Amino acid sequence: MRESFDLKGRSAVITGGSRGLGRAMALGLAAQGCNIAVVSRKLDACEAVAREVEALGVSALPYACHVGRWDELEPMAEAVWRHFGAIDVLINNAGSSPLYDSLDQVTERNFDSVIGVNLKGPFRLTALIGHWMHTGRGGSVINISSTGALTPPPYALPYAAAKAALNALTIGFAAAYSPNVRVNAIVPGQFGTDVGDHWADPADREHPGYTKAGYRIGRPEEIVGLALYLASDASSFTNGATIQVDGGPVRAVRLRDKDMAPATS
């Protein structure tokens, strides 16, 4: 079974790979032998994670790209394909959800930006790279959705709508490119990344995996196991699935002294 999770000789593109869940998945896949293209808007941030990836004994390619800009996507994909010789895994992780005071204050520019990063970009990259995979040796596409797509919050409604549409793309692309390309979605709940700094109850930096008020949330490394499963041959019969990683119905448990050790390990 261990061989099913082996990613040696394979290559992955991870958008939004310079921080948070993207960085955690980049390092997690690299630890299993996967070469990583770290894609984000800021090249210096991509380069920093690329150095961490290379320290694990695999190849890395940092690449600055705005996922919401259609004309930047094909040049990025082609550069990664040329560099590694193929793309075996695409993780559409980049996301954006600008704050707004009320729904009537959402501007067209902000709305289009959210749709661009969370939906348009993943559509174009999956259509492009997924097609190359399908006509080649196959591969795996992993969309990073959100539980907001299932229970849309008023304070992030355009984001939730985009992620709900991403879930629909997951099923449609799975049908389009099967059987040799698998397309699945991870549906995270709250995770302790810098994205959560604007929450009413933000993540506690001293105790990762909890909010300031002591409620259990996810640690970035806790998404890696599922990402590794979906990227590898272990998920050979998993296609078109949307899988929640949100701690389940008991996730909001108060932090107690006895919980501190495992929370910070």
DSSP state letters, 242-264:
EEEES-GGG---B--GGGHHHHH
* CA Rg value for the chain: 18
Alpha-carbon span 193 to 144, nearest angstrom? 14
Instruction: Give the angle subtended at the CA of 241 by the CAs of 234 and 72, to the nearest 5°.
Output: 95
User: Which one of 96, 163, 229, 235 is the catalytic residue?
Assistant: 163
User: Which one of 40, 96, 145, 235 is the catalytic residue?
Assistant: 145
DSSP state letters, 145-195:
--GGGTS--GGGHHHHHHHHHHHHHHHHHHHHHTTTEEEEEEEE--BSSGG
Backbone angles phi, psi at 202, to 5 degrees: -70, 165
The token duo for 84 is: 């590694």
With b for 16 or more beta-carbon neighbours within 10 A and e for fewer, the 50-86 pattern comes to beebeebebebbbbbbbbbeeebbeebbeebbeebee
Question: Which whole-number Å values give the CA distances from 94 to 23, 137, 204, in the listed order?
Answer: 11, 25, 23
Alpha-carbon span 132 to 15, nearest angstrom? 18
Alpha-carbon span 247 to 252, nearest angstrom? 8
Alpha-carbon span 140 to 133, nearest angstrom? 8
The token duo for 145 is: 């959705």
User: Which one of 18, 96, 140, 159 is the catalytic residue?
Assistant: 159
- State yes or no: is 145 an active-site residue: yes
Catalytic residues: 145, 159, 163
